[in-house]
């Protein structure tokens, strides 16, 4: 039987950090991302230098910058000494606890492959929802003491930072990341040297250094090609997340899959279950075919053996979201592989073909479905859509769904955390019941005050973001001074923040400009819409959406009502979902596989106003927010018109009046009733603790038993 503590392997910090003896555990705390969802630990690190903590949000870099004189006052600060002792005790208790008390009698761990991980902004190797979900899957696996090891790539440039011109043109900044200043550790081989594995790429071999990010009890293994042992043309393979050029993208996915398996083998880790989170990691199957079923000439029986321990999770119902490659390119990279295992190249290429896909290209999703015993969607509606998309490959007993969740300790705001008396993670079922019982006992005034505190905290961040943006655009001092008066805590604020893909329809609310202007600029009931989000560098229509929003923001009559905040990241996302009043979501149904930002908002009493798609088709109960449109799936133009009309009517007749309807104490009673119901109806179910538990029960355990 494997346990999480069995997943420890030799690693070292790239740079040793000197701290006073009485604070000897600070480096260990800094190198374990447990701190990223533990407010007390973050408060402790902020003691070391509030300004530098605000700037870095990275305890490793903070400790590296600490000069000896900075320690002297802390050594005599009773408040810091007490806080440090509390954090150390909580960390040791967490690391030695058995999570939810479940027993995992697997013969080996779960190997979880994902192309991106969003654990915290200080390790920027993620772009958005998929990465954040992967990071929170790992966090909850740690909370539950589930034996899991995660595998990914350590991108030297990460995902781009966004800055936007005055006309709304998005620019992409790729900062080069110095791993030695991050909570990332070198993995060592038996001789105490950095572990390196080799991965074939067509007629070359790329060397991959192995790094580790520790997330509570769970290691994330990350592969890196950017070091001198590789020739110049191979060093950039792990350089940039979601690189544009197709051949380099294929090389990354081969490295993730093949290199990931080789790294596990080099560490003597023998997984009982292989979980492919999206199709990017599907080439792990080719390496496993070589190592697990050598000499097999029967492809069907070999795949059956591989698939018996394999789970595939698909995350998109959008056709363009399923990775495809030119068949000739696939043949170039896998011809040698097929020769080595005596496999017909045409038979291998056929693994990536599907009647559901009208293109003649090699489809990674088709290959993944054929390589996994079971495939799951990430909401009930997505399960249906996936069955319709891939019906020629999936039998009903092979397809199921596990609705996504979010890691509640990460996203619950400080004021609601304190108000609900939330204990340190992991939460037990009894802890959750106590939190919800406490929610019922709170007065409307207490809930409203907690929300207003979180709202004001967000608005301070929004003012700073907008001030920096407008300063760069060359606005005058009088115009910059207006920003301090732009955001009012009493104004109804609607948040729209996500990737700017066209199917998400960031522009839906602008379809009837005059109607929108009347709604936003009513002096007695003003409304602000706050946008944030990035468009992929190759997504020109998505970038045009940002320019369109800037054009509306530039109109004099809407300059106080339409706001775009640039460089959307986890830090800004956290403040947004905790601080706005309404969370707007307008995808074309059924293109939202799940979505998770609305869950994070609901945990904080922020009310969802959303298309009935993804998770909201399960989460909406009539009292915890509002819906837009209906459950019919229409042609795009017709659907856009119907949904826009519904959006305006709901805002005009329900959302805005209810927000501004106050009792004698200035409290919106009906609104707070919805806030209370939003928290109650989501916190207990739409969380990753429940989600990972379902993966364990429905997939990991049955596959491990095989």
Question: What is the per-residue pLDDT across 434-479, written as a single tens digit (0 to 9) for each?
Answer: 999 999 999 999 999 999 999 999 999 999 999 999 999 999 999 8
Question: What is the per-residue pLDDT across 126-135, written as a single tens digit (0 to 9) for each?
Answer: 998 999 999 9
Asked if 509 contacts 644 with a C-beta cutoff of 8 angstroms, the reply is yes
What sections of 402-559 are H helices per DSSP? 408-411, 414-419, 429-441, 444-472, 477-483, 513-520, 540-553
The CA distance from 511 to 641, in Å, is 8
For residue 104, what pLDDT is reported? 83
DSSP string covering 390-440, please?
TTTT--TTTEEE----B-HHHHS-HHHHHHTTPPSSSPPHHHHHHHHHHHH
- How much is the average pLDDT of 196-206? 96
554 φ, ψ to 5°? Answer: -80, -15
Check residue 216 and give left, alpha or beta (phi > 0: left; psi -120 to 50: alpha).
Answer: left
- CA dist 614 to 382, 591, 624, Å? 7, 8, 16
Q: Which stretch of DSSP H or E encloses residue 304?
A: helix 299-307
- How much is the average pLDDT of 80-96? 96
pLDDT level of residue 77 (50, 70, 90 thresholds):
very high
- Could you state, in order of their start, the residue ranges of all structural domains in the chain? 10-96, 412-686
The CA distance from 535 to 497, in Å, is 11
Give bridge partners of residue 585 from the DSSP assignment. 610
| pLDDT at residue 643 is higher than 70 | yes
| pLDDT at residue 292 is higher than 80 | no
112 φ, ψ to 5°? Answer: -110, 115
The CA distance from 333 to 58, in Å, is 39
For residue 363, what pLDDT is reported? 95
**Strand, helix or coil at 654?**
helix
The CA distance from 114 to 111, in Å, is 10
The CA distance from 199 to 210, in Å, is 12
**Strand, helix or coil at 141?**
helix
**Strand, helix or coil at 615?**
coil
- How much is the average pLDDT of 170-183? 92
**Residue (of 468, 33, 425, 56) closest to 435 by Cα position:** 425
pLDDT level of residue 645 (50, 70, 90 thresholds):
very high
Residues 6+ apart with CB under 8 A from 464: none
| pLDDT at residue 366 is higher than 70 | yes
- How much is the average pLDDT of 672-682? 98
| pLDDT at residue 116 is higher than 60 | yes
Is beta strand 148-153 parallel, antiparallel or unpaired with respect to 110-113?
parallel
The CA distance from 239 to 207, in Å, is 14
For residue 433, what pLDDT is reported? 93
Is beta strand 582-585 parallel, antiparallel or unpaired with respect to 218-224?
unpaired
Give ∠ CA 214-219-221 in degrees, rounded to 5: 110
The CA distance from 104 to 102, in Å, is 6
- CA dist 22 to 28, 81, 88, 304, 671, Å? 13, 9, 12, 56, 50
Asked if 197 contacts 262 with a C-beta cutoff of 8 angstroms, the reply is yes
- How much is the average pLDDT of 149-168? 94
Question: What is the per-residue pLDDT across 233-276, written as a single tens digit (0 to 9) for each?
Answer: 999 999 999 998 999 999 999 999 999 999 999 999 999 999 99
Q: How many CB atoms lie within 10 A of CB 68?
A: 8
Residues 6+ apart with CB under 8 A from 679: 416, 439, 602, 603, 604, 605
| pLDDT at residue 186 is higher than 70 | yes
The structure tokens listed for 233 are 């043309």
For residue 294, what pLDDT is reported? 65
User: If you average pLDDT over every residue of the chain, what do you get?
Assistant: 94
DSSP string covering 213-275, please?
EEETTEEEEEEE--STTS-TTTGGGGSSTT-SSHHHHHHHHHIIIIIHHHHHHHTT---SEEE
Give ∠ CA 347-348-352 in degrees, rounded to 5: 105
For residue 102, what pLDDT is reported? 64
The CA distance from 450 to 522, in Å, is 27
For residue 295, what pLDDT is reported? 64
Q: How many helices (H) and strands (E) does the chain have?
A: 30, 21
pLDDT level of residue 420 (50, 70, 90 thresholds):
very high
**Residue (of 316, 312, 197) closest to 260 by Cα position:** 197
Count Cβ atoms within 10 A of the Cβ of residue 96 and give its class: 0-12 exposed, 13-18 middle, 19 or more buried.
Answer: exposed
The CATH fold assigned to 412-686 is Rossmann fold (3.40.50)
Cα atoms in the Cβ-side hemisphere of radius 13 Å centred on 616: 33
pLDDT level of residue 4 (50, 70, 90 thresholds):
confident
Residue found under tokens 């609104």: 671
The structure tokens listed for 361 are 């290209």
The CA distance from 333 to 251, in Å, is 9
The CA distance from 387 to 313, in Å, is 13
Which of 194-198, 422-426, 593-597 shows the lowest mean pLDDT across its residues? 422-426
Which of 333-342, 369-378, 663-672 shows the lowest mean pLDDT across its residues? 333-342
The CA distance from 658 to 381, in Å, is 30
Asked if 142 contacts 97 with a C-beta cutoff of 8 angstroms, the reply is no
Asked if 182 contacts 58 with a C-beta cutoff of 8 angstroms, the reply is yes
| pLDDT at residue 195 is higher than 80 | yes
For residue 606, what pLDDT is reported? 98
Question: What is the per-residue pLDDT across 544-553, written as a single tens digit (0 to 9) for each?
Answer: 999 999 999 9
The CA distance from 62 to 65, in Å, is 5
Asked if omega into 426 is within 30° of 0 (cis), the reply is: yes
Q: What is the b/e burial string over 394-413, where b = at least 16 CB atoms within 10 angstroms of the residue's CB?
A: beeebbbbbbbbbbbbbbbb
Is beta strand 196-201 parallel, antiparallel or unpaired with respect to 204-215?
antiparallel
| pLDDT at residue 520 is higher than 80 | yes
Is beta strand 324-325 parallel, antiparallel or unpaired with respect to 362-363?
antiparallel
**Strand, helix or coil at 169?**
coil
The whole-model pTM stands at 0.96
**Residue (of 158, 211, 153, 149) closest to 180 by Cα position:** 211
């Amino acid at each position: 039987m494997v346990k999480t503590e069995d997943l420890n392997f030799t690693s070292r910090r790239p740079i040793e950090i000197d701290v006073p003896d009485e604070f000897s555990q600070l480096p260990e705390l800094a190198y374990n991302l447990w701190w990223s969802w533990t407010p007390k630990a973050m408060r402790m690190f902020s003691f070391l230098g509030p300004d530098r903590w605000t700037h870095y949000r990275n305890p490793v870099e903070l400790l590296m910058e600490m000069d000896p004189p900075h320690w002297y006052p802390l050594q005599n600060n009773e408040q810091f000494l007490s806080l440090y002792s509390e954090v150390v005790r909580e960390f040791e208790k967490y690391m030695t606890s058995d999570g939810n008390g479940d027993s995992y009698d697997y013969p080996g761990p779960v190997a979880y492959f994902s192309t991106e991980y969003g654990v915290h902004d200080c390790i920027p190797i993620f772009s958005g929802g998929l990465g954040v979900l992967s990071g929170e899957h790992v966090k909850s696996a740690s909370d539950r003491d589930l034996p899991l090891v995660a595998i990914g790539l350590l991108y030297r440039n990460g995902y781009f930072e966004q800055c936007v011109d005055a006309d709304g043109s998005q620019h992409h900044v790729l900062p080069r990341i110095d791993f030695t200043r991050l909570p990332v550790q070198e993995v060592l081989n038996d001789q105490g040297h950095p572990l390196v594995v080799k991965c074939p790429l067509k007629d070359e071999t790329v060397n991959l250094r192995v790094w580790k990010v520790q997330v509570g009890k769970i290691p994330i293994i990350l592969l890196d090609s950017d070091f001198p042992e590789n020739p110049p043309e191979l060093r950039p393979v792990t350089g940039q997340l979601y690189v544009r050029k197709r051949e380099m993208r294929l090389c990354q996915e081969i490295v993730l899959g093949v290199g990931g398996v080789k790294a596990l083998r080099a560490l003597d880790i023998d997984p009982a279950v292989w979980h492919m989170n999206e199709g990017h990691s599907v080439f792990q199957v080719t390496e496993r075919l070589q190592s697990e079923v050598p000499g097999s000439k029967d492809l069907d029986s070999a795949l059956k053996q591989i698939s018996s321990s394999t789970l595939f999770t698909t995350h998109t119902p959008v056709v363009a979201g399923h990775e495809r490659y030119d068949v000739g390119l696939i043949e170039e990279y896998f011809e040698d592989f097929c020769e080595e295992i005596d496999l017909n190249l045409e038979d291998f290429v056929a693994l990536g073909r599907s009647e559901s896909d009208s293109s003649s290209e090699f489809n990674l999703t088709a290959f993944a479905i054929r390589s996994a015993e079971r495939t799951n969607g990430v909401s009930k509606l997505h399960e249906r859509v996936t069955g319709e998309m891939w019906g020629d490959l999936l039998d009903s007993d092979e397809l199921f769904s596990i609705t996504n969740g979010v890691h509640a300790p990460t996203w619950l705001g400080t004021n609601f955390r304190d108000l609900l008396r939330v204990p340190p993670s992991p939460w037990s079922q009894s802890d959750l019941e106590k939190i919800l019982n406490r929610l019922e006992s709170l007065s409307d005034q207490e809930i409203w005050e907690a929300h207003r505190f979180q709202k004001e905290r967000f608005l301070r961040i929004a003012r700073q973001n907008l001030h920096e943006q407008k300063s760069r655009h060359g606005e005058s001092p009088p115009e910059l001074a207006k920003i301090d008066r732009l955001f009012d805590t009493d104004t109804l604020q609607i948040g729209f923040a996500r990737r700017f893909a066209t199917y998400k329809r960031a522009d839906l609310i602008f379809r009837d400009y005059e109607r929108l202007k009347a709604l936003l600029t009513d002096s007695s009931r003003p409304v602000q819409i706050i946008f944030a989000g990035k468009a992929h560098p190759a997504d020109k229509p998505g970038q045009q959406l940002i320019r369109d929003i800037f054009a509306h923001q530039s109109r004099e009559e809407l300059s106080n009502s339409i706001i775009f905040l640039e460089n959307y990241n986890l830090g800004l996302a956290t403040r947004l979902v905790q601080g706005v009043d309404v969370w707007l979501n307008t995808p074309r149904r059924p293109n939202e596989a799940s979505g998770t930002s609305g869950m994070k908002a609901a945990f904080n009493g922020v009310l969802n106003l959303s298309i009935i798609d993804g998770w909201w088709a399960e989460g909406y109960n009539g009292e915890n927010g509002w819906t837009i449109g209906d459950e019919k799936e229409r042609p795009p133009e017709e659907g856009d018109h119907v949904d826009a009309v519904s959006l305006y009517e709901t805002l005009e007749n329900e959302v805005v009046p209810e927000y501004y309807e106050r009792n004698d104490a200035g409290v919106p009673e009906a609104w707070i009733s919805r806030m209370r119901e939003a928290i109650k109806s989501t916190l207990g179910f739409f969380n990753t603790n429940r989600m990972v538990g379902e993966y364990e029960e429905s997939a990991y355990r049955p596959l491990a038993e095989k």
